Structure 1
Amino acid sequence: MNNSIPSIGFIGGGQMAEAMIRGILASGLVEADAIKVAEPSADRCQYLESEYGVGCTTSPQDLCTASTVLVLAIKPQMAAEVLAGYKGYLTDQHLAISIMAGVPLEALATMLGESRRLIRVMPNTPALVLEAATAFSPNTFATQEDRIIAQALFSAVGSCVEVPESQLDAVTGLSGSGPGYVFTFIEAMIDGGVLAGIPRPAAEKLVLQTIYGSAKLALETGEHPAVLKGKVTSPGGTTIAGIQALEDGALRGVVMAAIEAATNRSKELGA
């Protein structure tokens, strides 16, 4: 058990909260009896209690009394209404960590108190299988220990980096929305395999393992993607023929434009 994180409360018990609970328990950061979830759905509460052994409540005061770290895991459009019930119970002893997309630190401070210790986080959906890519930004009141806590919590569900808040919209466009780009590419590769004559079930298996294996190779070797690409690209071979088709279709430019478009949309939503 990590004594720097004595107790964690989740405001909201949805999928991302569940993924974090699973990762936190698997990593041994805290025990189940040190986690509490504020969740209005009785069925959802019963599931979380039986599946993970955590506590549930519907009382903001109860959650704040029981927890020193609060994870805001509600939909952004619900933030103002839900957090209004918590503002009066937060103290200087609380660290609030938001995983709500598009809600800036300034808005969180307005909702929870100007001097509160706040950290804004942008995880992505692979957190559901404990393989998230996460970035976080603390406000000026957050301490070095708060940063360490955030790093530990989100490393439990994948990998985690600290960035200035000014970069979080770009993080949203890159890794936050990134699984959508990857799934689109996966679908296209599967269809390409079918077009080439491979039965769809076999094409799906081959493509998924190829994507997974390629990412793992890049992570574990630490080699630049261009170097790894070079190792599989023989002169006059099949790979370079395929890459030429990708370049003719402006794949790089399209991907870069997609990330830029998603970044700009994140800025619009945040405004």
Structure 2
Amino acid sequence: MKIGFIGCGNMAGAIIGGLLDSGAYHKEDIIGADVYAPSREKTAKNFGIKVTDQNLEVVSLADIVVLSVKPQFVEEVIKDIRDHVREDQLFITIIPGKTLAWLNETFGKEMKIIRTMPNTPALVKEGMTGVCAGDKVTEEDLKKGLEVLNAFGRTVAIKEDLLDILTGVSGCGPAYCFLFIEALADAGVVGGLSRSQAYELAAQTLLGSAKLFLESGKHPGELKDMVCSPGGATIEGVRTLENMGFRSAVMEAVLASADKSRSL
């Protein structure tokens, strides 16, 4: 079973790294294509896989093809390869805004397509990926696709019309988390902590809090209340965040990102 990547950016690299680390694939089983030479060279250096500037070479060799190009380039890529794809090939797309209907129409026929939206924590094998399978995708196809996607984190099956809001929550969410880490750290520096100390404190606090939520099964409000002692420092901080519209700002950011995803 060979897997090919059209587009060798960061997300493709995360998937390739996950596949190799998991043992699901060996470097001889993977090929990548990218028109941008530095991306090809970086991928070959990091993973030792075969790389090319020819998309058709990937299509001719791979059983599973991952389309990981920017939305503005995908139509050109599909038109370049559509006369050479095989009906038994499985396509996995990492392209916001491009629906299954649009993809099938652009291919000129109904294909086996799994539409996904991963996020950048895939780079450290902690990704969160939304998955939506097309009508031609069989249970066996989906199993193969999930083996690829689970190599770098978790997956969740979702209706296609919810992929844009998922993009706003988990696809774009890491940027909001990094902004929060930066803000926490900046406050620590104002208070006298060194920059390195402040970043470590903020990042580990976010990591530990997320792990506590996932493993405890408790509602986030309950976990928040566990920290908020009556008349204490934490509830005073929460009160300040609420006064500044913290939750509303986050919600508006997610909804704005989802709207943008729909328009791509």
* TM-score tier after normalising by the smaller chain length: over 0.9
Q: Distance in 1 between matches of 2:59 and 2:185?
A: 48
Residue deviations 1:191-221, cap 9 Å, x none? 2222333333321221111111111221222
Q: Distance in 1 between matches of 2:36 and 2:183?
A: 39
Letter in 2 for 1:36: I
Aligned partner of 1:86 among 57, 67, 81: 81
Say whether 1:199 aligns with 2:194: yes
Normalising by structure 2, what TM-score? 0.94
> Which residue matches 1:116?
111
Shift of residue 25, structure 1, vs aligned partner: 0.7
Letter in 2 for 1:107: W
Q: Distance in 2 between matches of 1:200 and 1:63?
A: 45
Residue deviations 1:217-236, cap 9 Å, x none? 21222222122212222111
Letter in 2 for 1:95: L
Q: Distance in 2 between matches of 1:18 and 1:219?
A: 26
> Which residue matches 1:150?
145
Shift of residue 156, structure 1, vs aligned partner: 1.0
Aligned partner of 1:21 among 16, 25, 33: 16
Aligned partner of 2:158 among 144, 160, 163: 163
Residue deviations 1:136-165, cap 9 Å, x none? 111111111222222221111111111011
Shift of residue 43, structure 1, vs aligned partner: 4.6
Superposed counterparts of 1:181-260, under 5 Å: 181-260=176-255
Shift of residue 171, structure 1, vs aligned partner: 0.7
> Which residue matches 1:180?
175
Q: Distance in 1 between matches of 2:39 and 2:231?
A: 57
Q: Distance in 1 between matches of 2:83 and 2:244?
A: 56
Residue deviations 1:160-199, cap 9 Å, x none? 1110110011011111111111112112111222233333
Letter in 2 for 1:206: L
- Tell me the percent identity: 39
CA RMSD of aligned residues (A): 1.6
Residue deviations 1:85-132, cap 9 Å, x none? 210111111011110122111221122232211111111111122211
Q: Distance in 2 between matches of 1:61 and 1:258?
A: 39
Contact in 2 for aligned 1:151/1:161 (Cα 8 Å): no
Contact in 2 for aligned 1:132/1:157 (Cα 8 Å): yes
- Mind listing any 5+ residue stretches in structure 2 that lack a counterpart? none
Q: Distance in 2 between matches of 1:83 and 1:229?
A: 48
Say whether 1:60 aligns with 2:52: no
Shift of the 11–208 alpha-carbon distance from structure 1 to 2, 3 Å rule, reads: same
Shift of the 261–46 alpha-carbon distance from structure 1 to 2, 3 Å rule, reads: closer
Q: Distance in 1 between matches of 2:72 and 2:185?
A: 36
> Which residue matches 1:76?
71
Shift of the 188–149 alpha-carbon distance from structure 1 to 2, 3 Å rule, reads: same
Q: Distance in 1 between matches of 2:140 and 2:77?
A: 27
Contact in 1 for aligned 2:6/2:65 (Cα 8 Å): yes
Report the 3-state secondary structure (helix = DSSP H, G, I; strand = E; otherwise coil) of the residue aligned with 2:154.
strand
Letter in 1 for 2:226: K
Contact in 2 for aligned 1:16/1:73 (Cα 8 Å): yes
Say whether 1:130 aligns with 2:130: no
> Matched residue pairs, number?
264
Contact in 1 for aligned 2:34/2:55 (Cα 8 Å): no
